[in-house]
Amino acid sequence: MRLILNSPLDMHLHLRDGDMLKNVAKFSAKDFAGALIMPNLLPPITDIKSLLAYKKRIFEAVREENFTPHMTLFFKSDYTADFLEKAKPYIAAIKLYPNGVTTNSEGGIEQIDTKRLSPVFEAMSELDIPLCVHGETNGFVMDREREFCAIYEQLAASFPKLTIIMEHITTKECVKLLEKHENLHATITLHHLLITLDDVMGGLLNPHLFCKPIAKRYEDKEALLEAALNAHKKVMFGSDSAPHLVSKKECCGCAAGIFSAPIALSALAELFEKHGKLTNLQTFVSDNARDIYKLIPINKPIVLEKKEWIVPAKFDDVVPMFASQTLKWKVKSRLN
């Protein structure tokens, strides 16, 4: 049995830099036609020169693979309309991080005051630059995303022409918001369709499933599944594949992030098939992103076969999701 996906897109991806970039980029480049590249490097990507230099390093890391990195800038409150106009040809979106809520988000926004930030949001609306948001407050960890819904609503209502992407949503409340505001959209990860907090820490603690936003309750997972499996027009796949060295995961002070890039398409096919929704995977993993981001991806059909394979325990020093476990679908002609 075979499945062909036309130009799959991963609309939320951490490729890192240096040796890590060289280790991880090939997995996304092989299986996807393109990805939205997160700007949370150290220091973050906030100017065109470093953005283009980073893009060049990504191309070097993916070598001959046909893959489009859709670049993003790290949101700053002092971006001017003039700067944004110059940046527009080089970026697909701008990513807003509240200060300190996740890996490398220092230098993010202290307070999302829609009035104070309105010049940037107005300029982005005019230029049709989507705003991607890591939507978490500094509140109690299980409530952070739900609390942030009020900010999403305020943003959506105050800037109706701004395309807003609620990144890696994890709650039923965020799924509901999609119906309420036309300009709200969302990415959903693979892991949030599969796990709840129980899998992270209900039994023995699993650092490799620790990520931000933390996986939530069963009813949240169900709401996310309902939207993704039925190819809701306003949701798209964003893996949030976020690799960290094993030494940073298996330690006290475990870094947040799940490395899912090497298994993302296989596990998605298995999940959609299990629910009898395989025919909707194309929409979730590519078509919706084209519509929301108004992008035309390179033509890259990806063939998956129904063939069991065992996920390696590690890729260099990074442990992937489903490490040492068997998956039912395999991307044909993968690298290893």
Interaction site with ligand NCD (CB under 6 A): 14, 40, 102-104, 134, 211-212, 240, 242, 256-257
318 binds, among ligand NCD, Zn ion, none (CB under 5 to 8 A by kind): none
The two three-digit tokens of residue 275, written as one number: 């629910």
User: Which residue from 39, 75, 36 is spatially nearest to 54, judged by alpha carbons?
Assistant: 39
> Residue 42 CB, nearest distance to ligand NCD (Å)?
10
245 binds, among ligand NCD, Zn ion, none (CB under 5 to 8 A by kind): none
Q: Of the two residues 145 and 329, which places its CB atom closer to Zn ion in the complex? A: 145
234 binds, among ligand NCD, Zn ion, none (CB under 5 to 8 A by kind): none
Catalytic residue among 17, 198, 240, 316: 240
Q: Does 240 bind Zn ion (CB under 5 A)?
A: yes
Q: Rounded to 5 degrees, what are φ and ψ at 133? A: -125, 130
Q: Of the two residues 232 and 249, which places its CB atom closer to ligand NCD in the complex? A: 249
Burial 283-298 (b: 16+ CB within 10 A, else e): bbbbbbbeebbeeebe
Using the contact rule CB under 5 A, the part of the chain among 27-35, 189-197, 203-211, 235-243 near Zn ion is 235-243
Bridge partners of residue 165, in order along the sequence: 132, 185
Reduced to 3 states (helix: H, G, I; strand: E, B; else coil), residue 21 is helix
Question: Is 98:138 a contact under the CB 8 Å cutoff?
Answer: yes
Using the contact rule CB under 5 A, the part of the chain among 147-155, 240-248, 276-284, 307-315 near Zn ion is 240-248
> Residue 285 CB, nearest distance to ligand NCD (Å)?
19
Cβ contacts of 243 within 8 Å, gap of 6 or more:
14, 16, 20, 23, 24, 257, 259, 261, 318
> Residue 80 CB, nearest distance to Zn ion (Å)?
26
Using the contact rule CB under 5 A, the part of the chain among 47-55, 138-146, 201-209, 233-241 near Zn ion is 233-241
Q: Of the two residues 8 and 213, which places its CB atom closer to ligand NCD in the complex? A: 213
30 binds, among ligand NCD, Zn ion, none (CB under 5 to 8 A by kind): none
> Residue 187 CB, nearest distance to ligand NCD (Å)?
10
Q: Of the two residues 12 and 234, which places its CB atom closer to ligand NCD in the complex? A: 12
Question: Is 187:238 a contact under the CB 8 Å cutoff?
Answer: yes
> Residue 232 CB, nearest distance to ligand NCD (Å)?
21
Q: Of the two residues 5 and 101, which places its CB atom closer to Zn ion in the complex? A: 101
Question: Is 264:304 a contact under the CB 8 Å cutoff?
Answer: no
Cβ contacts of 89 within 8 Å, gap of 6 or more:
none
User: Which residue from 186, 207, 198, 310 is spatially nearest to 254, judged by alpha carbons?
Assistant: 207
DSSP 182: T
Indicate the angle between helix axes 218-229 and 172-180, nearest 10 degrees: 40
Tell me whether residue 240 is one of the annotated catalytic residues: yes
- As annotated, the active-site residues are 240
Residues that bind Zn ion (CB under 5 A): 240
